[in-house]
Amino acid sequence: MKRNKKKWLIWTMVLTLMILTIAGCAPRNSASPESEGTGVNQGGSAAPSSPPTNDPQQQGNTEPTPPQQETTDAVAEQLDKLTTTEKIGQLVLVGMEGTAPDEHTRKLIETYRVGGFIFYKDNIENSDQALSLINRLKEDNSVNKLPLFLGVDEEGGRVTRMPKEFAKIPTAASIGNTGDPKAAEDFYRVIGDELSGFGLNLDFAPVLDVNSNPDNPVIGDRSFGDTPETVSKMGLAAMGGLSGKGVIPVVKHFPGHGDTSVDSHLGLPVVNHDLQRLKELELVPFQDAIENGTDMVMVAHLLLPKLDPDHPSSFSKAVIHDLLREELGYKGVIITDDMTMGAITENYSIEQAAVEFITAGGNIVLVGHDYDKEEAVIRAITKAVEQGIISETMLDERVGTILKLKAKYKLSGEPMNGPDVKAVNAAIKEARKNYGLQ
């Protein structure tokens, strides 16, 4: 009996040692030090963990799901809840007539579910009216699941949509001549204050065209300079100034409108450069912008016969898919220049151009004028979806990219109180003084 008792005690000790050893080798709980021993998460489910990794520096890391993944998941869920009509609406950004919403704007919002509006000088009389217009459109859009893009061409210089109460922003050329990218950042930050104060969230700027042709009738002092290096450093700084204020920069006019002698508002410019030349000059600022995370690219109405002799760049597969998407690796939102410009309306069917732009890899068709043309474009895209020319997969891909951008900038339908005009004007005056642009 004593012998059995001794054996039993030995086995008990061995088993105890084994249990302690196994417990000591088990992985520690991944809770943060602050939660250990405090009862946090006790009785609840474990926090989500990151996927397994073979990187020694990452092993044991149980960080929460990255924001990018959360955004992707939310967008997928949002996309799944949209009707086909709502998806098609996101592919179109429209203009309006007059200074107040009317039956056409209401139909564009309530029936066609458009993704946004662009405003021109004739839509804006003064600050109070502009604020009222934008807030009213937001209110009208409350029937929809998605907030609106609300954009203007606000470049400074001669291309401005802001009310006369605001001081003038210098031309891009003047800013470029300072040689200081901080000047571009500062002036475009002020533009961001102006626009965001009204609730505008999209600026069709900065211009990334290189002013390489002195006879160009449409670019000129809208460009930061006549070398790609100047345009790149100034353009990137301008992008930062806008996005820092919650305004989406739209770089333009891809693949480069600087060496043209025809105004695309009136006719179709022809650019006879091959891809090698484009890579050496025109494409440099756009490539730099893409590498620095630009959110939206506007494609110009240019004919580049050595890339595509049959289609302008604004609906050319060779330019949009092959060059911008594949060659340059751009994954963001692509928008056309205004499809009601003479380059398109004088030479092509706007309906066909809109559909071919989408199938070529684009996301948003800009139709800035004429309600009948806006309606015709929406109907053409709808028909293309119904006929399978734009497949369901393609539609979801195009719209998903748009939804990611709206989520990234946290666009909302909340009314705004308007910018502080005095503060904005003081900032413009100070920046002009700092950079010698009185």
**Cα–Cα distance, 330 to 353 (Å, whole number):** 21
Name the band, by pLDDT with cuts 50, 70 and 90, for residue 149: very high
**Cα–Cα distance, 224 to 384 (Å, whole number):** 40
Residues serving a catalytic function are 265, 337
Residues sharing a CB contact under 8 Å with residue 129, sequence separation 6 or more, in sequence order: 99, 100
| Residue (of 351, 334, 336) closest to 402 by Cα position | 334
Beta bridge partners of 117: 94, 150
**What pLDDT is stored for residue 57 in this prediction?**
33
**Cα–Cα distance, 192 to 100 (Å, whole number):** 23
Mean pLDDT over 236-261 rounds to 91
Looking at residue 325, the DSSP 8-state letter turns out to be: I
Name the band, by pLDDT with cuts 50, 70 and 90, for residue 272: confident
Tell me: cis bond preceding 67? Omega within 30 of 0 counts.
no
Question: 346, 269 in Cβ contact below 8 A?
Answer: no
- Give the global pTM: 0.83
User: Which amino acid is residue 149, in one-letter code?
Assistant: F
* Alpha helix segments (H runs only) across 141-180: 172-177
**What pLDDT is stored for residue 29 in this prediction?**
34
Name the band, by pLDDT with cuts 50, 70 and 90, for residue 408: very high
Mean pLDDT over 5-20 rounds to 46
3-state secondary structure at position 158: coil
**How deeply is 104 buried, as exposed, middle or buried, from its count of CB atoms within 10 A (0-12, 13-18, 19+)?**
middle
What H or E segment, with its residue span, contains residue 140? Answer: helix 127-140
**Cα–Cα distance, 82 to 396 (Å, whole number):** 10
Question: 224, 231 in Cβ contact below 8 A?
Answer: yes
**How deeply is 162 buried, as exposed, middle or buried, from its count of CB atoms within 10 A (0-12, 13-18, 19+)?**
buried
**What pLDDT is stored for residue 270 in this prediction?**
83
**Cα–Cα distance, 366 to 273 (Å, whole number):** 26
* pLDDT tens sequence across 170-180: 999 999 999 99
Counting Cα atoms < 13 Å in the Cβ hemisphere of 30 gives: 12
**What pLDDT is stored for residue 35 in this prediction?**
32
Residue with tokens 């054996």: 7
Please determine, for residue 378, whether its predicted confidence score (pLDDT) is greater than 90: yes
Name the band, by pLDDT with cuts 50, 70 and 90, for residue 358: very high
Of all residues in the chain, the percent with pLDDT exceeding 90 is 75
Name the band, by pLDDT with cuts 50, 70 and 90, for residue 259: low
**Cα–Cα distance, 259 to 215 (Å, whole number):** 8
Please determine, for residue 352, whether its predicted confidence score (pLDDT) is greater than 60: yes
Angle of helix 350-359 versus helix 392-408 axis, rounded to 10: 80
**What pLDDT is stored for residue 73 in this prediction?**
84
**Cα–Cα distance, 110 to 94 (Å, whole number):** 14
Looking at residue 291, the DSSP 8-state letter turns out to be: H
**Cα–Cα distance, 227 to 282 (Å, whole number):** 9
Counting Cα atoms < 13 Å in the Cβ hemisphere of 362 gives: 31
Please determine, for residue 37, whether its predicted confidence score (pLDDT) is greater than 90: no
